[in-house]
Amino acid sequence: MTYTKFAFWLVFFFTLSCKSEAQKKQQFKVQKSEAEWKSQLTDLQYYVLRQEGTERAFSSPLDKNYSAGTYVCAACETPLFLSDHKYNSGSGWPSFDREIQGNVAFSVDYNIGVARTEEHCATCGGHLGHVFNDGPRQTTGRRHCINGAALKFIPKDE
Ligand SMILES: [Zn+2]
């Protein structure tokens, strides 16, 4: 390899690595400091939304909530899921067969050693849960397994 070629690849390599660094620090429309989130959210909401925690199975009152309405982000109130798409997966977490498109964003995490599709609020970046492929076959086949602590339920009549 000539020196010029080598220099070219070196520049190319550094350009690439800078780019991936920038992508990690994704910007969201609603941005708050960790201290601000901490004062706004309950301990459990903070643990789930900001630290990618998982609430205990069967602990959320929203798991068995089947009233008509909209599930919004507990941190920034962006509408994320509709009651029409909620179903009883038996997992102990609120489950939906689809999200409100565009309001939920996805990434991959390796928190338990295997690749899982993580999902978060597209407006504030708050962690919601994970998507699995064992959902209802007659609809989407997807199971959005969501922490109830990350959601706030707005009944249809209000
Ligand atoms: Zn949000």
| Distance (Å) from CA 4 to ligand 1 centroid | 48
| Four-point Cα dihedral 33, 36, 42, 46, nearest 10 | 0
Total residue count of the chain as it appears in this document:
158
Give the distance (Å) from ligand 1 centre to CA of residue 63: 19
pLDDT tens digits for range 101-135: 999 999 999 988 999 999 999 999 999 999 999 99
Range 55-158 has CATH code 3.40.50.10490: no
Which residues carry out catalysis? Answer: 145
CA of 30 to the centre of ligand 1 (A): 8
pTM of the model: 0.83
Residues 6+ apart with CB under 8 A from 5: none
For the stretch 45-91, pLDDT in tens is 999 999 999 999 999 999 999 999 999 999 999 999 999 999 999 99
Distance 5 CA to ligand 1 centre (A): 46
Q: Is the pLDDT of residue 44 over 90?
A: yes
Please list, residue by residue across 91-115, b when 16 or more beta carbons sit within 10 angstroms of its beta carbon and e when fewer do.
Answer: ebbbbbbbbbeeebbeeeeeeeeee
- pLDDT given for residue 8 in this prediction: 63
